Amino acid sequence: MTSSTNTFFLLMANGSIESAELPEYNEIFIKYFFVHGQDWDKIAGLEEGSTQIGHKSIDQRQTIAFNFPLDITFKSTCPFGWPQLVVSCYGQDVFGNDVIRGYGVTHLPMSPGRHKLRIPLFVPESTSKMQKFFAWIQGRRPEYIDPRVLAHGEGREVTRVRSQGFLNLNFNIVTKDMRKLGYVTTTGESSSANISNQMTEINNTTLANLTQTLGFNPEQSYVGQTPRF
Amino acid sequence: MAEVHIIGQILGGSDFPDNSLYCKWSLSAGSGWRLLQGIKEGQTHVDNPTYEPFAAWSHPIDLHYTTKGLQGWPKFNFEVWHQDGFGRTELYGYGSCHVPATPGFHELECVTWRPIGSIKDQITSYFVGGGLQLKNPELAIANSESYRLKTVSMGKVHLRLNIILRNFDKYGVEF
Q: What is the pLDDT of residue B128?
A: 81
Enter the ipTM.
0.86
Distance CA B92, CA B171 (A): 42
User: B6 to chain A: nearest residue by CA?
Assistant: A80
> CA-CA distance, A153 to A84, in Å (whole number)?
12
What does pLDDT average to over chain A? 81
pLDDT of residue B121: 85
Chain-chain contact of A162 with B62 (C-beta, under 8 angstroms): no
pLDDT tens for each residue of A76-128: 999 999 999 999 999 988 888 888 999 999 999 998 999 999 999 999 988 78
Strand partners, B7: B62, B162
Per-residue tens of pLDDT for chain B, all 175 residues? 899 999 999 999 999 998 899 999 999 999 999 999 999 999 999 999 988 889 999 999 999 999 998 899 999 999 999 998 788 889 999 999 999 999 999 999 999 999 888 888 888 888 887 778 888 777 766 666 666 788 899 999 999 999 999 999 888 888 7
Tell me how long chain A is: 229
Listed in sequence order, the DSSP H helices in B71-152 are 119-128, 137-142
Neighbour count for residue A130 (Cβ, 10 Å): 9
The shortest CB-CB distance from B105 to any of A110, A156, A184 is to A110
CB contact under 8 A, A192 and B169: yes
In contact, B96 and B109? CB cutoff 8 Å: no
Q: What is the pLDDT of residue B27?
A: 93
Q: Tell me whether residue A83 is in a domain.
A: yes
Between the alpha carbon of residue A88 and those of residues A4, A120, A133, A151, B132, the distances in Å are: 40, 11, 24, 12, 39
User: Which residue of A80, A86, A159 to mutate against B (max B Cβ within 10 Å)?
Assistant: A80
3-state class (DSSP) for residue A227: coil
The answer to whether residues B156 and B15 touch, using CB atoms and an 8 Å cutoff, is: yes
Contacts of A80 in chain B (CB under 8 A): 5, 36-38, 62, 64
Let me know if residue A3 belongs to a domain: no
CA pseudo-torsion sign B34, B72, A108, B44: negative
Residue A74 has pLDDT above 50, yes or no: yes
Query: How would DSSP label each residue in A118-185?
Result: EEEEEEE--SSHHHHHHHHHHT-----SSGGGGGS-TT-TT-EEEEEEEEEEEEEEEEESTTTTTEE-
Pick from A6-10, A220-224, B83-87, B109-113: least confident = A220-224
Model confidence at A215: pLDDT above 60: no
pLDDT at A171: 95
DSSP single-letter state for residue B82: E
Q: How far off is chain B from A217, nearest CA to CA, in Å?
A: 41
Q: Is it the case that residue A194 has pLDDT exceeding 80?
A: no
Task: Give how far A129 is from chain B: nearest CA, Å.
Answer: 10
What residues 188-227 of chain A have any CB closer than 8 A to a CB of chain B? Answer: 189-193
Q: Checking DSSP bridges between strand B46-47 and strand A160-176, what pairing results, if any?
A: parallel
Domain for residue A195, yes or no? no
**Residue A117, strand partner residues:** A169
Do A79 and B7 count as a contact with CB atoms less than 8 A apart? yes
Instruction: Establish if A121 belongs to a structural domain.
Output: yes
Confidence of residue A202 (pLDDT cuts 50, 70, 90): very low
Which of B 102-121 lie inside 8 A of A, CB atoms? Answer: 102-105
Within an 8 Å CB–CB cutoff, is residue A156 touching chain B?
Answer: yes
Residue A224 has what pLDDT? Answer: 44
What is the total count of domains within chain A? 1
Neighbouring CB atoms inside 10 A of A165's CB total: 26
> A150 to chain B nearest CA, in Å?
8
CB-nearest partner of A122 from B5, B56, B61: B56
Sign of CA dihedral B29, B32, B38, B41: positive
Q: Is A190 a residue whose pLDDT tops 50?
A: no
Q: Which residue has the higher pLDDT, A45 or A136?
A: A45
Work out the average pLDDT over A141-152.
Answer: 88
**CA distance to A28, A194, A213, per residue, from A207 (Å):** 52, 19, 10
Question: Does the distance separating the beta carbons of A186 and B48 come in below 8 Å?
Answer: no
Facing B164 at nearest CB: one of A110, A162, A193: A110
A129, part of any domain: yes
Look up the domain containing A121 and give its range: 9-185
Q: Do A27 and A53 meet the contact criterion of CB atoms below 8 Å apart?
A: yes
In this structure, the dihedral spanned by the alpha carbons of residues A4, A5, A11 and A12, taken in order and rounded to 10 degrees, is: -50
What CATH code is carried by the domain that includes residue A142?
2.60.40.150
- Which of these, A86, A62, A93, lies nearest to A165 by C-alpha position? A62
Degrees (nearest 5) of the Cα angle A26, A28, A30? 165
Secondary structure tally for chain A: helices H, strands E:
2, 10
Interface check for A152 against chain B (CB to CB < 8 A): the answer is: yes
Residue A125 domain-assigned (yes or no): yes
Q: Cβ B47–A184 below 8 Å, yes or no?
A: no
Which domains are delineated in chain B?
A: 2-171 (2.60.40.150)
Window B:19-48, CB contacts with A under 8 Å: 22, 36-39, 42-48
Assigned domain for A224 exists: no
As beta bridge partners, residue B164 has B5
Partners of A125 on chain B (C-beta within 8 Å) are 48
Of A87, A19, A88, the residue nearest A54 (C-alpha):
A19
B46 vs A contacts (CB less than 8 Å):
159-161
The model carries a pTM of 0.82
Q: State residue B141's pLDDT score.
A: 64
Q: CB of A123 within 8 A of CB of A64?
A: no
CA distance B15 to chain A (A): 16
Say if A203 falls within a structural domain. no
Three-state secondary structure call for residue B35? strand
Q: Kindly give, in sequence order, each residue whose CB lies less than 8 Å from that of residue B71, ignoring residues fewer than 6 positions away.
A: B30, B32
* 66-85 of A, contacting B, C-beta below 8 A: 78-82, 84
Predicted local distance difference test score (pLDDT) of residue A76: 94
pLDDT score recorded for residue A123: 93
State the Cα–Cα distance between residues A117 and B51, nearest whole angstrom.
19
Q: What are the residues facing A171 on neighbouring strands?
A: A15, A115
